[in-house]
Amino acid sequence: MSSYSNLINVSRCRPLLGTFVEIKGSHADETRACEAVQAAFDAVSRVEREMSFHAPDSELSLLNAYGHLAPIHVSHNLYSVLKFSQNLFKVSGGVFDVSIGSELVDYGELPQHLPHRGTGTGQDITLLEGGRVHYHVPLVVDLGGIAKGFAVDQAIEVLEGFGLNSGLVNAGGDLRYFGYKDPDIWVRLAPHQYHQGPLPYDPKKKALATSNLSQKREGLAGCLHLDGLSRKPVSDTLSVSVLSETCMVADALTKIVTVLQDGSHSILKQFNAIAFMTRL
C-alpha cells in the first residue's frame, strides 16, 4: 500500500477500549516508526483511562459518581468530548444523548457500579469554565458512541507528529488514515460477510466508522444502540458507515444516522460527512 519501497511498515495490534486496536505506520527509519506506533498506543490507553465506563476508577466513572454533587475538574480530553457530545445532542434534537448509560446498564450492556440511576438527559450536563463539569441531576454518562473515534483521532495526531509517511489507526472498525492514496477498506456487514469495493471517496474524508448491529442478533453484549429520545434500542437490520474528516465525527454520526435513517441529510452536511447504508 505504501508508495515507496524503502519505507519500513510497522503494524501492531493490542486489546484496548474493549476491542482490538490496530496501528500501522511507515517511515524510512524502523525505530522511528516503532516509537511512533508505541506513542500512539499510549494515547489510546490514556483515552481509555479517562473515558472507560467499565473501569470504576476512570475519570468518567468518577464524574458519574460525584458530578451531581459538585462541579468536577476533568482532563482536557474528557472536556472536549463532552463538549462535542453536547453539540451533537442539540443538533440531533436529543437523538444522540450520552446520558443513555442508565438504560444501557438496565439492558445489561454496561456494568452497574453506581448506587444511582440517571434521572435526566444530556441537557442536564453543564460545562463550566476552567475545565469543570457539573450534572444538575444524577446522570449515568456513557461515551461508548464517541470515545473510540476520539481515541483514533488522538493516535493519528501522534503518528503525524512523529513525521511518519503514512499511518492508519483502526479501533474495532472505527478507523482513520493519512498518507495512503487509496487504502483497501472492507466493511464487515456480519460475521463472514463483507462489503469489499470502492467506497465514496473524498481526499479530505479519511475517517470511517461503521455501526452494525448484526452481532446483537447473536446475543453478544456491547453492540446495542439506543435512541436518545425514546431511550429504546434501534433496529438491528441496518449497517451504517460514515466517512468524515475526523473519526470522532464519523463514530458519533453513525449512531445518529442509524436512528434517523432517511432524515439525516442536514446533520451529515453540517458536519461535512457522507453516510452509506446497507440493509442486512
Partner 1 sequence: MDLLYRCYYTTFITMFDKSLYWLTPIVVIASATACFSVQYLTLEQAQRACFPTATQWIATPVELTRDQMALIEKDSGIPVRFHEQKVWAAYHGSAFLGWVILDSVLGKHEAIQWVLALEKEGSIRQIEILEYKETFGSEIRQKKWQSQFFGKKHGAKLKLNQDIQNISGATLSSRHVTQGVKRLLSFYELILKPH
Of the pair 57, 218, the CB lying nearest partner 1 is at: 218
Cβ at position 90, least distance to partner 1 in Å:
20
Of the pair 190, 229, the CB lying nearest partner 1 is at: 190
Cβ at position 279, least distance to partner 1 in Å:
8
What is d(CA 157, CA 115) in angstroms, rounded to the nearest whole number?
38
What is d(CA 150, CA 276) in angstroms, rounded to the nearest whole number?
21
Work out the angle at residue 56's Cα, subtended by the Cα atoms of residues 54 and 216, and round it to the nearest 5 degrees. 15
Residues in CB range of 79: below 8 A, 6 or more apart:
127, 131, 133
Q: Would you tell me which residues interact with partner 1 (CB under 8 A)?
A: 1-2, 9, 11-16, 18-20, 22, 24, 34, 148, 168, 170, 172-175, 177, 183-198, 200, 208-210, 212-215, 218, 220-223, 239, 241, 257, 262, 264-265, 268-269, 273-280
Cβ at position 213, least distance to partner 1 in Å:
8
Of the pair 28, 69, the CB lying nearest partner 1 is at: 28
Q: How many beta carbons lie within 10 A of that of residue 201, not counting itself?
A: 10
Of the pair 20, 66, the CB lying nearest partner 1 is at: 20
At 106, is the secondary structure helix, strand, or coil?
Answer: helix
Of the pair 139, 257, the CB lying nearest partner 1 is at: 257
Of the pair 8, 65, the CB lying nearest partner 1 is at: 8
Cβ at position 199, least distance to partner 1 in Å:
9
Cβ at position 129, least distance to partner 1 in Å:
35
Burial of 80 (0-12, 13-18, 19+ CB in 10 A): middle
What is d(CA 280, CA 197) in angstroms, rounded to the nearest whole number?
17
Cβ at position 81, least distance to partner 1 in Å:
18
Distances (CA, A) of 183 to 52, 60, 179, 229, 240: 30, 34, 9, 37, 20
Partners of 166 in the β-ladder? 26
